[in-house]
Amino acid sequence: MLNKQILVSYGDQAKKMTEELLKEIAVENELDKDDLIALKPNLINASTSEKGATTDPQIAAALIEYLQAKGFKNIIIIEGSWVGADTDNAFKKCGYQELARKYKIPLYNLQKSNYRKKKVFDMEIEIAEIALKVDYLINLPVLKGHCQTNLTCALKNLKGCLSDQEKRRFHRMGLHKSIAHLNKALKQDLIIVDGIYGDLDFEEGGNAVKMNRIMAAKDPVLLDSYAAELLGYHITDIPYLEIAAEMGIGNNNLEKAEIIEINKDQAADINYNSSKIKKLTKMIKAKNACSACYGSLVHALKRLDERGKLKAINQTIYLGQAYKDREIEGLGIGSCCNKALNFVKGCPPSAKAITDFLKNQNM
């Protein structure tokens, strides 16, 4: 797999989608048989993945089965939940204890690890020793919003490899520079993102948006730059992307990316219980809409709301396959609605494309 590539699979069948991606990636070509391979999910707390905070264990299950079938035996799972949450409890509630038992894989609670200080430019960072020892690190972040950094995905997920004390220090020093430095100290070799459910704006979950995709990449900066646009942000809204690019960790120029969609999303019933999301989506008319498309629109409306521009929208917003080839008096989202008076291209369009489109309408 090339550094410039980002593979995208749409749907919500985590195991099957990950298996399909792994066949495309052929990760075994990058590994030696005795390599110590670590999977690093995001288990920020003890909640199941559909709440929008943690990584679906079926992604890890697909990876372990794939690697074991190719003869790789040294596989471990490493994670340290956020300060105040108990990682052992998260392993149990999120389904990873069960995985460990089934596949005979050790779990490493990084809140109880030995740590080593690693110097990166002017910073010394205390990182779990086992994370520094692995030969091949597979990062399994969740695509979701974050209350301080706007986005959390590949680069920020490595914060789970720090001691609790170091996590607190990162917050005191400011997250952006710290996250970039951490990624200089600890290299991730492959990233598989759980983008099926991810929270609207808060890393702890509770207002999950169904974005219906799993993505794979090797460059965490390029991937996070793409992820930023999927949530409706400009790359400059997440300062650690530029700092990480300047430090040579990866590329934040999306024009250089090769996005490969290995399938298309399917129309689904859209049903959100979150009152926060229901409030945002009052002006939407959706019929046979794909979850990926609807999720992009939810994020776009949230970004407009944060900027005080949501109230200005006084037209109905249409999306879904039922509007194909129909004249629409209103705003259309995606290629299905290309007969609307005004519409945004894409299938699905990113939240950034929708945000830019909606804010430029004369409403």
In the complex, the residues that contact ligand SF4 under the rule CB under 6 A are 265, 289-290, 292-293, 319-321, 334-336, 347-348
CB of 170 or CB of 294, closer to ligand SF4: 294
Q: How far is the CB of 147 from ligand SF4 (least distance, A)?
A: 28
CB of 19 or CB of 265, closer to ligand SF4: 265
Taken in order 55, 185, 6, 66, the sign of the CA dihedral is: negative
CB of 38 or CB of 340, closer to ligand SF4: 340
CB of 67 or CB of 289, closer to ligand SF4: 289
Residue nearest to ligand SF4 (CB): 334
CB of 239 or CB of 346, closer to ligand SF4: 346
Q: How far is the CB of 112 from ligand SF4 (least distance, A)?
A: 44
H or E, element range at 220: helix 220-230
Short-list 93, 125, 86, CA closest to 109: 86
CB-side exposure of 77: number of CA atoms within 13 Å?
30
Contact 312, 280 (CB under 8 A): no
Q: In this structure, how many other beta carbons lie within 10 angstroms of the beta carbon of residue 131?
A: 25
Q: What does the block give as tokens for 264?
A: 């298309």
Q: How far is the CB of 39 from ligand SF4 (least distance, A)?
A: 30
Q: What does the block give as tokens for 344?
A: 């945004």
Contact 195, 152 (CB under 8 A): no
Three-class DSSP category at 40: strand
H or E, element range at 168: helix 164-173
Q: How far is the CB of 303 from ligand SF4 (least distance, A)?
A: 18
Q: How far is the CB of 227 from ligand SF4 (least distance, A)?
A: 18
Three-class DSSP category at 216: strand
Q: How far is the CB of 294 from ligand SF4 (least distance, A)?
A: 8
CB of 160 or CB of 334, closer to ligand SF4: 334
